[in-house]
Amino acid sequence: MANLAPVLLLPIFYKFTPLPEGELTQRLLALAQRAKTRVKGVFTMHMSSKTTAANAALMGLGNTRRIVLGDTMLDRYTPDEIEVVLAHELGHHVHHDIWKLIISQSVLTLGGLYLVNLALHWAVDTQHYYQSLADPATIPFVLVLTTIFGLVIMPLSNGLSRAIEYQADEYALQSTRMVEPFKSAMTRLANQNLADVEPSPLVEFLFHDHPAIGKRLKHANEFAQRYALNASINAESLAPTSSTEPVGMPSSGSSTPDSAH
């Protein structure tokens, strides 16, 4: 399904059009190439009639994998910001995060069902609260147990998700070295989602599957410091050509591809 969805399903709901050749297309394809990710091309998805949410994503598997930009993003974000958002998504791909999530969720679900099974056996076999395992009266008990289990593992799976997101941010910063566009893109996305800049640590621990925007900006600043440090060390030992100029990035703003509308 994941293979066919971008080809068969999503076009039913959204209109895809290839992004015209241009600087942005080239930059995004180059970024994918550096991530050793084969893509079919860059497409825009007409989302603006249905949502204001902006998105850039990698869709599909294998030979149908493609870069998809929401027209909401194409219209309102700079090429640098779009590149850094896509770099974050490529980071997920490079780190095989989908598989990490599928496997961890499966393990947690199976583990949870096993624990519920143990508790149910205890309630029936030793406490004789119910007549049998198949007694419909056990249903509320099972529902309460699964709810409690869900609450207990939520911080676990959210913690894993935040760690994965942090790594994808790190990848985006490393592969583009564009700290300011990273910060502005993340801030704009967070504002769009009405995210809390500094949630209380407990709320973040329990409920957030992404690092708080404040932490993501801090991460970017730390990266900038690290990078400046490395650059100055390299500048001493290497040829003077390695300056603080972002790699392979011509100054932006020269050609913005035609917007979707």
Question: Which residues contact Zn ion (rule: CB under 5 A)?
Answer: 165, 168
Question: Shortest Cβ distance from residue 210 to Zn ion (Å)?
Answer: 7
- Give the shortest CB-76-to-Zn ion separation in angstroms: 19
Smallest gap from residue 9 Cβ to Zn ion (A): 22
Residue closer to Zn ion (CB basis): 87 or 145 = 87
Choose between 71 and 169: whose C-beta lies nearer to Zn ion: 169
Nearer CB in complex with Zn ion: 138/176 = 176
C-beta of 196 vs 209, nearer to Zn ion? 209
Give yes or no for a contact between 212 and 196, defined as CB atoms under 8 angstroms apart: yes
**Least Å from the CB of residue 128 to Zn ion:** 49
Nearer to Zn ion, 145 or 189 (CB): 189
Tell me the closest approach of the beta carbon of residue 168 to Zn ion, in angstroms: 5
